[in-house]
Amino acid sequence: MTVDKDIIQEISESVEICLAPDGKEYPVTGRQAVNSIARARGISGRDVEVAALERGIIPRCYLRNIGAIGLEGQIKLLQSSVAVVGAGGLGGTIIQLLARHGIGHIIVIDNDRFAEEDWNRQSLSTEEGLGEYKAIIAARRVGEINSAITVTPYVEKLTRANAHKLLKDAKVVADGLDNLPSRFAAEEACRELGIPFVYGTIAGFSGQLMTIFPEDVGLSSIYGPSHSLPERGVEVKTGTPSATPAMIAAWQVQEVIKAITGIGKPLRNRLLMLDAEEGVVDTIELGT
């Protein structure tokens, strides 16, 4: 979108100088000014934030991101859509961290409602939200965390039939699913759409993750061909304790950020195996 000179002027008028932990001074603007300009101009908060960043003005809420990803990185995040498939243990944490990171548009896909047994590990679940749709609660929480960005909730289960429709606008897709057939469906759709898929799964104190680009061999290297897959794994017996999903979800978010900004080395064709019970992290190089 084009931002007229008046908006630039208004942003500039809102600027304060902030002394950051690195000892340097940065021009910053605040959420109140961003929202006020956005409302008055009928544009989104993220468009105002992008216009500010393009002129070296940092929205204060992203100040601690900039040292790691730079102004350009933050602009890329604000201009990106990320889909999160599943808003449970992995997805709930992924969604909230993406909102805090300043992903401009978050697509949430989940057809399930919160149950009491979700409370131990699903960070979007609360006593008050019992019985509510996870995607709707997720959208509400994103608005509470970061009102400058937009969120599209779909109360739907991802299938081969609807995957293209739900994922087509995403730059990256994050896996918060809880069964293998849906993961293969999501991976296949991402491959066809040319979108990276950040796979993650958990069981007990263990978890795995990997970023699968469309040309990578992906899940079949780990599981073999998609026919004859079990729906569930060992997690039905080992359970999913409180911290394990947060550990893997946080790492998945780093992979999403890296894929969008181009920073760092993605976990491509390398399966990361986290074993929190033994305190060990391994990576398995996958054959191609």
Partner 1 sequence: MASITVRFYSIYRLYLGMDRLSLQADDLGDALAQMEERVGPRLREQLQMRGIELDQKMQDFSLILVNGINIRNLGETKLREGSVLHIFPPSAGG
**Three-class secondary structure assignment of 207-262:** EEEEEECCCCCCHHHHHCCCCCCCCCCCHHHHCCCCHHHHHHHHHHHHHHHHHHHC
Residue closer to partner 1 by CB (options 53, 189) is 189
Q: Which of 113, 118, 71, 74 is nearest to 93 (CA)?
A: 118
Query: In the bound complex, what is the minimum distance in angstroms from residue 208's beta carbon to partner 1?
Result: 7
Question: Is residue 70 helix, strand or coil?
Answer: helix
In the complex, what is the shortest distance from the CB of residue 240 to partner 1, in angstroms, rounded to a whole number?
5
Which two tokens mark 50?
A: 């992008």
* Least Cβ distance, residue 277 to partner 1 (angstroms): 6
Minimum distance from residue 26 beta carbon to partner 1 (Å)? 38
Using DSSP's 3-state secondary structure scheme, residue 275 falls into strand
CB of 145 to partner 1, least distance (A): 21
Nearer to partner 1 among residue 10 and residue 178 (C-beta) = 178
Between residues 22 and 285, which has the closer beta carbon with respect to partner 1? 285
Residue 97 makes CB contacts below 8 A (sequence gap 6+) with: 249, 250, 253
Beta strand pairing call for 58-59 and 25-29: parallel
The dihedral through the CA atoms of 94, 150, 112, 178 has a sign that is negative
* CB nearer to partner 1: pick between 52 and 97: 97
Residues 248, 51: Cα–Cα separation, whole Å: 33
Residue 112 or 132 with smaller CB distance to partner 1: 112
Compute the least distance from the CB of residue 242 to partner 1, in Å: 13
CA dihedral 155, 159, 161, 162 (to 10 degrees): 30
From CA 252, how far away is CA 31, in angstroms rounded? 27
68 vs 286 by CB, closer to partner 1: 286
Shortest distance (Å) from residue 93 CB to partner 1: 11
Of residues 27 and 204, the one with the C-beta less far from partner 1: 204
Residues at the interface with partner 1 (CB under 8 A): 86, 88-91, 175-180, 183, 200-204, 206-208, 220-225, 230-235, 237-238, 240, 245, 269, 273, 275, 277-278, 280, 282, 284-287
